[in-house]
Structure 1
Amino acid sequence: MNWPAVLALGGGTYLMRLAGLLLRDRVRVPARVERLVDLGATAMLLALVATVAFTEAGGFAGWARPAGVAAGALAAWCKAPFVLVVVLAAGTAAGLRLVGVE
């Protein structure tokens, strides 16, 4: 591991977060920029979910995992409790794998 790079990135992250706290009242950004930042965070989260749902070891993860993620997403969209969302997602993926769908 390249420790100087890890330490530099960690220090930079800390300073960026500290700057956000210190400059919160001094810097004003337009509402449109705030909206774009919010949309960017949403896009990053969706990209992470899609990557985890569809890939494993550089290839396609099979159909059971995306089906489980879809079941969990549907349950979350219906405002089910978080525990139920997780159980439905895991149960769907496990059930499909049990019947032979990879």
Structure 2
Amino acid sequence: MTTGVLWATVVLASLACLALKIAGHLVPEHWLADPRVARLTSLVTVALLASLVVTQTVGDGQGLTVDARLPALAVAAVALALRAPFVLVVVLAAATAAGLRALGWG
């Protein structure tokens, strides 16, 4: 891919994002007040966040991989289910990944 094509792609993607943002401000407020819309937007947010977590956890750019990140995510999920403070969740997940990597897994 040439540098010109790459920059053209970046500029077009940026303009598309700007157009979506502007379109969001032009949506009538009464459409957004509908409870179904509020519920749908919260579900879309959760789905996008979940997809990002899964992609970053088991993706390596070319395929799927299972390494220390997956058990660390499981530990974080259990800690969140037990209502642990967020800082503790992060520390537990990081310690799990570090411990498994120190043992040679991932």
TM-score, shorter chain, exceeding 0.5? yes
> Do the aligned partners of residues 6 and 60 (structure 1) sit closer, same or farther apart at CA in structure 2, a change above 3 Å counting?
closer
Alignment of 1:96 with 2:100, yes or no, is yes
What is the number of residues matched between the two proteins?
101
CA distance in 1, matches of 2:8, 2:87: 41
Aligned counterpart for 1:28 among listed residues 31, 35, 41:
31
CA distance in 1, matches of 2:26, 2:40: 22
Alignment of 1:15 with 2:19, yes or no, is yes
- How many angstroms does 1:24 deviate by? 4.8
Question: What's the counterpart of residue 61 of structure 1?
Answer: 65
Which consecutive residues of structure 1, in runs of 5 or more, have no partner in the other structure?
A: none
Alignment of 1:77 with 2:73, yes or no, is no
Give me the CA root mean square deviation: 2.3
Whether the 8 Å CA contact 2:68–2:100 is kept in 1: the answer is yes
CA distance in 1, matches of 2:85, 2:59: 27
Which consecutive residues of structure 2, in runs of 5 or more, have no partner in the other structure?
A: none
- Sequence identity, in percent? 39
- Which 4+ runs in 1 deviate beyond 6 A? none
Instruction: State the TM-score, normalized to the length of structure 2.
Output: 0.73
Instruction: State the TM-score, normalized to the length of structure 1.
Output: 0.76
CA distance in 2, matches of 1:88, 1:11: 40
